[in-house]
Amino acid sequence: MTRHFLAIAAMTVTLTLAATTDSIKVVHGQVSDYYIPVVTSYDVTGVITDAQGRPLDGATVMWLHSPAHCNTDAQGRYRLVGTDADTLLCIHYPGKEMTIVTRTSGQHTVDIMLPDKHSGSIATQRRAAQTTPWYDPRHATTSTYCNPLNISYNYEPWNNNTRQGGSFRSSADPMALTYKDKYLLFSTNQGGFHHSANLSDWDFQTASFQRHPADDDECAPAAWVIGDTLYYTGSTYEGLPIWYTIDPYSGRWRRAVERNTLPTWDPHVFLDDDGCLYEYYGSSNEYPVKGVQISREDFTPISRIHDLVLLHPDRHGWERFGMNNDDEVTLKPFMEGAFMTKHNGRYYLQYGAPGTEFKTYADGVYVGDNPLGPFTYQKHNPMSYKPGGFVQGVGHGGTFADLNGNYWHVGTCMLSLKYKFERRIALYPTAFDADGVMHCYTAFGDYPCWNADYDIKQPADRFTGWMLLSYGKPVTVSSTDSTLTAASLTDENMRTYWSAASGSSDEWIQIDLCGKREVRAVQLNFYDHHTVQHNRASDIYYQYRILASDDGEHWTLAVDKSDNDRDVPHDYIELRQPLDTRYLRVENLHMPSGGYLCMSAFRVFGHAQGAKPKAVKHFNVKRDKADPRNAMLTWTPVDGAYGYNIYFGTAPDKRYHCITVYGDTHYDLRGLDMGTDYSFAVEALAETGRSPLTIAK
């Protein structure tokens, strides 16, 4: 027999519906058409009993997620109409466990036994987190930070980016500024901005300007301050409003102008100390970055529009397209993300290249004596560069000064796993040396570093000295979904991940540090597997506990986030005091949006006892004579070392670039500039510390 299900009027019929529908009946209503699936249905019958085999009278039998249900008779029998698409039977009886049973399509008889109700619940119980000597959940502010930034990255809207790989978080193209003694961070696709008092602990404030449901809310935004007024606009070729507020935390913004007149993609607005206002913009692999003076009244151009700088990948190796600056065929590289910083009377025009989906994404700088040029390519380039380590890439960013006058640079990190524009954000100390060379310190950029509460003038001094203790360490887990191996949790690769077979509170991760270690901080880098979430929501949070043990059998609670209600996708926890332990165990309590327990890395930082590693030997740099943009770096392994930092720059006192290498004793460097001589050095990294530098001859 057949029956009709009345459906809400819709313009299309989903693939799921079509797969279980014999036909579609269209009813023309007074206002709209109604699409009614016609399906084959049949009776599903059976008997419901208790654990002792006694029939249950009055048990409710229903299809999961459906209003259709029936009740059992005195013999425990039920009869429920279903289709092949109805595969989950849900049974409720007071005092018994609510039970869900899967049946196969076409199975007409299903007998079910209900177990007695136990003391627990199918719902995760909220419980107060306990304070331990190592973590206080009610006073969890930190004095350090660890990249990528632990902010509430928004989920990509439901668009073509997400339909193939599923839900994922992303943000990029950041800029930050100081506004009324707080730091504000604006970035792509966030529906607002993040703010912090120390650059470690970030909160989110909604400020949505979204036009279309599938659009990024804020794409490569610009924000600037004039007096006590904060202005904001996004990237556009068509013209967007410029908004303003004097209280950004209220969520209320007004329009300063209805429509920006310039095709300002990747805009940056710079207020000079003489009161003049300038705009820089451009994102293209054909056209140069542009600059223009604009009116402070209506933000229209009041000067000639200048073509400022272009890429020259034939001379600058780091500007070449490709994951390792190794693709000169597919596309020309992209120049984007202009940003202006003024220091000691000089103008530093920053720009991103060669592509946001590559680990070589970096920011270069041109320097001039006038805000509209002419500009000269800085010999030390790129200004920010991080093609190695756990966090890779630091392009299309912005530079700002903290309340102590120290500079920082926020930039885009490459992830590009589910989609090429899947990205994160990182923060690095930045400085100008005695010769005016602008440089960003990325060495140990994904290790714990001191935050803006500390007035530290030398960027290298921000590293805490806490070494990585988790690299390559054995991990055991409660379960694994498909082929996602637990080894991905300690391989220092953000583009690999492990997932449990569910998101339940039965799932856990355990790491063996292979000896007692002094643990100072941990970072849990969650990832999304079977998550169903798009755009921002208020109920996205992670809850878990971390336990410590010396023998793997007797456990002590170290970190309790049982009642956490914050969105912490890269949760970084600085311990209140050192924790001496061999084993660490993460017990899952809650994952957001239906996702499984899934992480790209469980990172542990601190110290091991013993001597520091010895200096690297046989460090050789062979620059390609045919193409001096390339060089092959080789060295011999050091006992006890888990990795190496390669430093290079335009002089021995200007080795500002750093590349972190794990698991190899060579590196194929393709980011050099023609006609520039470089100085190279390398150090070994071990759990006990760093080796002396070895200088390449």
Give the model's confidence band at 486: pLDDT under 50 very low, under 70 low, under 90 confident, else very high: very high
Q: What mean pLDDT, rounded, does the chain reach?
A: 93
% the chain with pLDDT above 70: 95
Q: Per DSSP, which regions of 59-154 are E strands?
A: 60-63, 69-71, 77-82, 88-92, 99-102, 112-114, 144-145
Can you tell me the distance from the alpha carbon of 529 to that of 521, in angstroms, rounded to the nearest whole number?
A: 26
State the pTM of this model. Answer: 0.88
Mean pLDDT to the nearest integer, 633-640: 98
pLDDT of res. 124: 54
Q: How far is CA 318 from CA 33, 354, 362, 380, in A?
A: 58, 7, 8, 12
Per the DSSP assignment, residues forming a β-bridge with 189 are none
Least confident of 172-176, 239-243, 462-466, 486-490: 239-243
Winning range, highest mean pLDDT, from 117-131, 169-183, 206-220? 169-183
Q: How far is CA 1 from CA 9, 81, 110, 133, 675, in A?
A: 25, 11, 20, 67, 82
DSSP assigned state of 344: T
Return the SS3 of 682. Answer: strand
Least confident of 250-259, 359-368, 376-385: 250-259
Q: Is the predicted pLDDT of residue 122 greater than 80, yes or no?
A: no
Please say whether the beta carbons of 532 and 540 come within 8 A: no
Give 350-397 as a DSSP string.
EEEES-TTSTT-EEEEEEESSTT--EEE-SS--SB---SSSSEEEEEE
pLDDT of res. 120: 46
Can you tell me the distance from the alpha carbon of 359 to that of 351, in angstroms, rounded to the nearest whole number?
A: 16
Q: Is the predicted pLDDT of residue 5 greater than 50, yes or no?
A: no
Can you tell me the distance from the alpha carbon of 386 to that of 363, in angstroms, rounded to the nearest whole number?
A: 10
Cα atoms in the 13 Å half-sphere on the side-chain side of 627: 16
Q: Which long-range contacts (CB under 8 A, 24 or more apart) does 203-207 make?
A: 204/151, 204/152, 204/567, 205/248, 205/249, 205/251, 206/251, 206/536, 207/232, 207/248, 207/251, 207/253
Which has the closest alpha carbon to 586: 607, 565, 604? 604
Mean pLDDT to the nearest integer, 512-530: 98
Mean pLDDT to the nearest integer, 660-671: 97
Structure tokens at 359: 């680990």
Q: Is the predicted pLDDT of residue 123 greater than 60, yes or no?
A: no
Q: Is the predicted pLDDT of residue 18 greater than 90, yes or no?
A: no
Q: Is the predicted pLDDT of residue 343 greater than 50, yes or no?
A: yes
Give the number of other Cβ atoms within 10 Å of residue 102's Cβ.
Answer: 10
Return the SS3 of 36. Answer: strand
Strand order in the sheet with 2-4: 2-4, 33-40, 23-28
Per the DSSP assignment, residues forming a β-bridge with 277 are 271, 294
Return the SS3 of 546. Answer: strand
Place of tokens 């809650």: 590
Please say whether the beta carbons of 390 and 369 come within 8 A: no
Place of tokens 């991990």: 475
Can you tell me the distance from the alpha carbon of 146 to that of 389, in angstroms, rounded to the nearest whole number?
A: 13
Which has the closest alpha carbon to 341: 401, 265, 277? 401
Tell me: the pLDDT tens digits for 440-480?
999 999 999 999 999 999 999 999 999 999 999 999 999 99
Q: How far is CA 357 from CA 322, 331, 597, in A?
A: 9, 13, 26
Q: Is the predicted pLDDT of residue 628 greater than 90, yes or no?
A: yes
228: CB partners within 8 A, 6+ apart: 180, 246
From the number of C-beta atoms within 10 Å of its C-beta (0-12, 13-18, 19+), residue 327 rates as middle
